[in-house]
Structures are given as C-alpha cells and as structure tokens.
Structure 1
Amino acid sequence: MQINFDIAAQFTSAREGRYQCIRTDAGNWTLGQIGQGNLVGTMRGISAPVMGQWLGNPAMVTSSVMKSITDDTFKAIARSLFWRAINGDQLPPGLDLLLFDFAFNSGVARAAKQLQRILHLEQIDGDVGEDTLEAVLHAPVSDILLALSDKYVRRLQDDLGVASDGIIGPGTLKAIKAQDARLRALIYACASQQDAAYRSFKGFAQFGRGWLGRLDQRVEAAVSLLTSVPALT
C-alpha cells in the first residue's frame, strides 16, 4: 500500500549497514562481478551496481560517492528501483513489505517471479502488473497453500488456532475461510519460498544465519502490517 513505503523503507534501512568495502563481495564492484570494474564498496545496502544504475553510468561511482549516500538518497533509490519495481503501492499490507525487503536484499526479479510462481501464473516474467495484482487478490487459496513449507504450515495453523500438525486438511481450510486468512497464507507462502532461496545461495554457510534472522523479522513485520490495516476487498 502507498502509505506503507516509509514503514518498509525504515525496516530495510535498519537492517542494512553503513559503508563497507569487501573485495570478495561482487556487490562492492561497479560491474557486479568480483574484479570487474572498480572496487568502491556498498552503503546502506545500496550496492555499487545499483548506484551505477541510479547515476546512469557505473564509471561515475567512486568510494566517495558511495560513502556520501544519505538516508534521503537511500529512500529515493529504494522507492524508485525497488518499491515501484514490485508495485508496492498496489500490494496488500504486509505483502508489500515482505516483497520489498526481499527484493532489496536479493533482487527484484527473484522476488517478483517467486510471487508469480506461488500464484500459479502462466507468465513468469518478474513484472508485478495487472495480472499478478489480480491473482494476489483472487488466486485460489488451494494454489497458494502448495507453496508453504512445513514450518509455515504449522505457523499458519497456530495463528488459526487449529491443530499444528503440518497437514492442510478440512479443519485448516475451514479456519482459513472463516477467519479470512487468505492473505496471511500468501505471506507465509512467500516466506517459505524466500527461506528456500536463501538456503540455495552459495554464501549460505557464511551468511545464512543472518539472512534467516532477517526473514523472521520480515515476516513478523509483515503480519503486523496485515493485522493493523483493514483487509483489501
């Protein structure tokens, strides 16, 4: 939702560090590959390639430019290149933050395509357009539930107050309908796929604990937003 950008940006900003310059991190190089372009570092989670995209020319990105990224610049880049890219203004509360922070952390295309696969769309193009937004609101809950991991099936069941057995049976389905929990299920489905994506990254052994910790916080924030804003119809 449009009113949630500041909340989402604050969440993301709080989990990103200030300036760092690590030679073995591709995001610190202007061309996005280790040893390619110039080693200039990252700032507030803004990678060197993203800053090059923002300025329109990777050659303009220097260490000094990266160090000078202010909170206002962070928000401008986050809104333009990530929030708008996932159509955050049009997404339901909670799902907007969940998708935005994962897109910022792991890439817009990956986040959008995950959502489209969960919704069983025919066209998986990474464009959160009219078809995707329509499916967000109206795709069958039975399709959405297929994307849940055991962890998030049980969490959904706990939320619904039904037996936490990891099995989506008649009781769970009845509770989802009675409590209008379809969007909650969609948030947990996205979280399940984000968890799987992190575990597939080659840096998981080194950074996985932090990634999964951030995911846990992301889900908590998303559910909080979902329950604090009237549901979309």
Structure 2
Amino acid sequence: MSAENFQRALSLVLKSEGGYVNNPRDPGGATNFGITQAVYDGWRARRNQLRQSVRSIGMADVTAIYRDQYWDAIRGDELPPGIDYAVFDAAVNSGPVQGVKWLQRALPASPVDGHIGLVTLGAVAGINDRAALIERLCAQRLGFLRRLKQWLTFGRGWSNRMASVQAAALAMIG
C-alpha cells in the first residue's frame, strides 16, 4: 500500500491503452494513452486552458489525469498491491464508480455504492485470500464486457487485457 504502486500500475495501464486511436466503432471516440477527448477537454477547462486535440497530450497531463481522476478516486494508495492495480485498470476502462462496484461485489459484507469508504477499506483489509478477490473482480469485469454490443469488435483485445490484468495483479500480491 504505497504511492509508488501508482507508477507501476500506470505503466501497465499505458501498455494496455497504447497511443492515439480514433476507431469509429469505439463509443469513447478519439483517445491517446487511454485519455478520451472529452476527459482531456474537461481537464483543460478546469485549468482555464484552451481546448486542444488529445493527440497532443503530454505525459505530464496523462499522469496527472490518471492520478487525479482514477487512482485517487479509487483510493489506490490505500488498497493492497495487486488489488489497487486491478481496480485502477477497471476504473480507467469503465469509470471509477463501476470499477469500485466490481470490487465491492467481490467482497463479503461491503455495500455496493461505487465509493470506497471505511467499510470497503475494512472489508479489503480483512481479506485473507487476495488472489481469490482479484479473480472474482476480474471475472465480474469480463462478464460485463462480454455483454457489451462492441464485444464482437473488441472482445479479443478485451479478453487479452483481462488476462494480462489478472496475471499482473496476482503477481503483485506476491
């Protein structure tokens, strides 16, 4: 449970997300390093900066956006290694609220509200089998992805990503 885990988790997410993409079949639209144009526009607007193409995003902004809008939103610094990465990757892909809900559903005795508070953190701390928790979280996420209409287009890549996320998360609990 360390802030250093953010950098390790971010490097893995960036490997999965890649560079600039604007696939017309992707409802997220144009993205670069996994940051959508809409997220980048919002980020820049809150800083009173003019709109610019996500294609031009710098790594400092990428890191700051991932830290602020995803890692901090899931309280990544307070989650154990492996679980932090699995929830972070889910948050990046489907939003922090949904990523946290998958974690909460995988826990015994945790309300499913999409926000990590003391009850959820306590439930995570009480887990003896972190590997099983990661596996349940990833299984829920994969099940969700399989039900999306874009599965036929992106399913192979999503399956590969989920296998990679699960393997890396399990390796982190070492």
User: One fold, TM greater than 0.5?
Assistant: yes
1:131/1:92 CA distance change after superposition, 3 Å:
same
When the two structures are aligned, how many residues end up with a matched partner?
Answer: 171
CA distance in 1, matches of 2:131, 2:77: 18
CA distance in 2, matches of 1:16, 1:70: 15
* Residue in structure 2 matched with residue 153 of structure 1 by the alignment: none
Which stretches in structure 2 are left out of the alignment for 5+ residues? none
Residue 49 in structure 1 maps to residue 41 in structure 2: no
1:54/1:204 CA distance change after superposition, 3 Å:
same
What displacement does 1:123 show? 3.3
Give CA deviations for 1:20-44 in whole Å, capped at 9, x if unaligned.
233443322xxxxxxxxxxxx2211
- Aligned residue for 1:189, secondary structure, equals helix
Give the TM-score normalised by structure 2.
Answer: 0.89
Equivalent positions of 1:1-233 (< 5 A) are: 1=1, 2-28=3-29, 41-56=30-45, 60-63=50-53, 66-121=54-109, 123-138=111-126, 182-227=129-174
Give CA deviations for 1:118-165 in whole Å, capped at 9, x if unaligned.
2244632211111111011226xxxxxxxxxxxxxxxxxxxxxxxxxx
1:19/1:115 CA distance change after superposition, 3 Å:
same
What displacement does 1:108 show? 1.1
Amino acid in the other structure paired with 2:11: Q
What displacement does 1:47 show? 0.6
CA contact (8 A) 2:21 2:32 kept: yes
Moved more, 121-130 or 79-88: 121-130
Q: Superposition RMSD on alpha carbons, in Å?
A: 1.9
Instruction: Point out the structure with max Rg over C-alpha.
Output: 1
What displacement does 1:72 show? 2.1
What displacement does 1:6 show? 0.5
CA contact (8 A) 1:48 1:61 kept: no
Fraction of identical pairs, as percent: 36
Which stretches in structure 1 are left out of the alignment for 5+ residues? 29-40, 140-179, 228-233
CA contact (8 A) 2:83 2:134 kept: yes
CA distance in 2, matches of 1:122, 1:14: 31
Amino acid in the other structure paired with 1:16: E
CA distance in 1, matches of 2:159, 2:108: 25
Amino acid in the other structure paired with 1:69: I
Bigger relative contact order (CA 8 A; separation at least 6): 2
Give CA deviations for 1:161-180 in whole Å, capped at 9, x if unaligned.
xxxxxxxxxxxxxxxxxxx5
Give CA deviations for 1:177-233 in whole Å, capped at 9, x if unaligned.
xxx5x1111111111111111111111111011001011111111111100xxxxxx
1:76/1:192 CA distance change after superposition, 3 Å:
same
Off by >4 Å, runs of 4+ in structure 1: none
